[in-house]
Chains A and B, each alone.
Chain A
């Protein structure tokens, strides 16, 4: 039962470096999303996708890119890392494109930008 798998679990970057956080799900879910979690701020939505080839911005999209070429994968790209992007990142998925399904979360990726 893999569910939602995120890699890497931990990453340290220098300011200006780029990297990709990987997210894969094996539940054939159409909906996938990326959140960041910061103390006292809960989870904030970065980007989401309702199916392959379709992505949209969430609350805090600046500095991040996504693409959805397959149903299974939804990578999050940091183009030029900044200290403000130090956070814990969660990928989540849910079945269908509807709005009544609960999200299934990965275990998180902890990113530190120096």
Chain B
């Protein structure tokens, strides 16, 4: 079965610095990869996805993600973090119709 792993429970960055939230995946076929964000007491919101094509995917709120097939990774990035980016971030993979999520990474951006 498909799966994703988020190796960091917590990521702390200073406002204005670049941020990276890591994700690795495991699938038997073509990977369809997603990033979502969750703010307190809310549902998940879609940020971006990789289906095919360019390895660098751009999404909402200035986020982007880099697909790396050889390293089976799909890391989320942003060039300059904002305090308002502080939230819980989930990586997900969809292979056979159902979508499977990682455990989540809590991003804290400090002023």
Q: Interface on A for B, CB 8 Å cutoff?
A: 4, 31, 33, 35, 40-45, 48, 50, 56, 58-59, 90, 92, 97, 99-100, 102-108
Contacts and interface: CB of A to CB of B under 8 A. Distances in A.
Interface SS of chain A? strand
Interface residues of B, number: 25
Contacts, number: 60
A45 B44 contact: no
Contact of A108 (B34, B43, B95, B104): B43
Contact of B95 (A40, A90, A99): A99
Contacts of B102: 42
A32 to B, nearest CB: 11
Contacts of A108: 41-43
